């Protein structure tokens, strides 16, 4: 397992941690401010959300690399399944934005169950079909597609993948190396089968997302914990991820409306560096 105690090169910031994915949250820093603050602290990369990028993808990508970091990924495609599924044109546009940023990975939050369906089988088939339709374009753009399974409490309207094994099942249906999964501590910490599941998925892990599960979670979307403040076994989860061959960035993604989004970004970033080196 990698030793992070004196090395932050694998540390990446998902800008949602500063409130950037939702209107009216966080300190409202520009991409330039985020880039400078992360570079100063030795972060290795940044993950942006589409809403921050607008038409400046090429420029922002260049600024990140000029600061000595990588654009690690982009969040995210529109939903691919369910009542709120986006159009093919929107999916293509999200792939194009990732390519323009120089982001090697585009995250997929799948969307919910297909209208009129029961259970999950129809939705997962539809998901596999829609991803397959976009693979050639993603390949041409050098962008891999990472399905992120979400905690089962997000079933219904937000996801049809609840565990790493569900995402791997869809990977197997698609059968293409351009697609894999992202492992997010918030969504997998409860899953005692994670090590066995990931062991049969060498090369499929495209991202690892850090936060913590608070013992008393007060809001299912917006009350994630800072690493070390909760009950997830962070080192054990990373051990499973790395045993499956993952050696990429560790992306801190903390949605925290009542706590971390209320604090000055400098404090949040300093805390992340400290916790990354000590508890992750």
Shortest approach of Zn ion to residue 185 CB, angstroms? 8
Q: How far apart are CA 97 and CA 74, in angstroms?
A: 8
Q: Which is nearer to Zn ion, 138 or 208 (CB)?
A: 208
**Angle at alpha carbon of residue 149, lines to 182 and 89, rounded to 5°:** 80
Shortest approach of Zn ion to residue 142 CB, angstroms? 22
Tell me the CA distances in angstroms from 87 to 74, 84, 130, one per residue in order.
Answer: 18, 10, 10
Tell me the CA distances in angstroms from 17 to 128, 141, 185, one per residue in order.
Answer: 30, 27, 14
Shortest approach of Zn ion to residue 150 CB, angstroms? 8
Tell me the CA distances in angstroms from 18 to 68, 186, 267, one per residue in order.
Answer: 21, 17, 11
Shortest approach of Zn ion to residue 21 CB, angstroms? 11
Q: Which is nearer to Zn ion, 209 or 238 (CB)?
A: 209
Chain residues in the site for Zn ion (CB under 5 A)? 184, 209, 253
Shortest approach of Zn ion to residue 108 CB, angstroms? 11
H/E stretch holding 208 reads: strand 205-210
Q: Which is nearer to Zn ion, 184 or 191 (CB)?
A: 184
- Residue 228 and residue 279 in contact, taking contact as beta carbons nearer than 8 Å: yes
Q: Which is nearer to Zn ion, 252 or 269 (CB)?
A: 252
Q: Where are the alpha helices (DSSP H) in 189-245?
A: 194-199, 234-243
Q: Which is nearer to Zn ion, 38 or 252 (CB)?
A: 252
């Amino acid at each position: 397992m990698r030793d992070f105690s004196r090395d932050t090169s694998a540390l990446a910031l998902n800008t949602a941690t500063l409130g950037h994915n939702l209107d009216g949250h966080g300190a409202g820093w520009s991409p330039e401010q985020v880039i400078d603050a992360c570079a100063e602290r030795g972060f290795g990369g940044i993950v942006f959300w589409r809403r921050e990028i607008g038409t400046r993808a090429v420029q922002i990508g260049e600024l990140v690399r000029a600061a000595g970091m990588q654009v690690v990924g982009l969040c995210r495609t529109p939903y691919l399944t369910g009542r709120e599924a986006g159009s093919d044109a929107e999916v293509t546009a999200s792939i194009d934005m990732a390519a323009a940023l120089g982001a090697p990975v585009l995250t997929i939050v799948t969307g919910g169950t297909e209208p009129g369906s029961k259970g999950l089988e129809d939705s997962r088939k539809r998901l596999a079909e829609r991803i397959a339709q976009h693979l050639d374009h993603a390949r041409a753009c050098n962008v891999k597609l990472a399905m992120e399974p979400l905690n089962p409490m997000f079933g219904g309207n937000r996801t049809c993948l609840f565990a790493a094994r569900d995402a791997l099942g869809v990977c197997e249906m698609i059968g293409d190396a351009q697609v894999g999964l992202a492992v997010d501590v918030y969504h997998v910490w409860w899953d005692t089968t994670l090590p066995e599941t990931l062991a049969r998925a060498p090369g499929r892990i495209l991202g690892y997302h850090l936060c913590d599960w608070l013992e008393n979670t007060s809001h299912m979307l917006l009350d994630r914990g800072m690493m070390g403040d909760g009950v997830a076994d962070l080192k054990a989860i990373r051990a499973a991820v790395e045993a499956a061959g993952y050696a990429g960035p560790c992306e801190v993604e903390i949605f925290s409306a009542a706590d971390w989004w209320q604090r000055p970004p400098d404090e949040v970033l300093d805390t992340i560096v400290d916790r990354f080196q000590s508890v992750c």
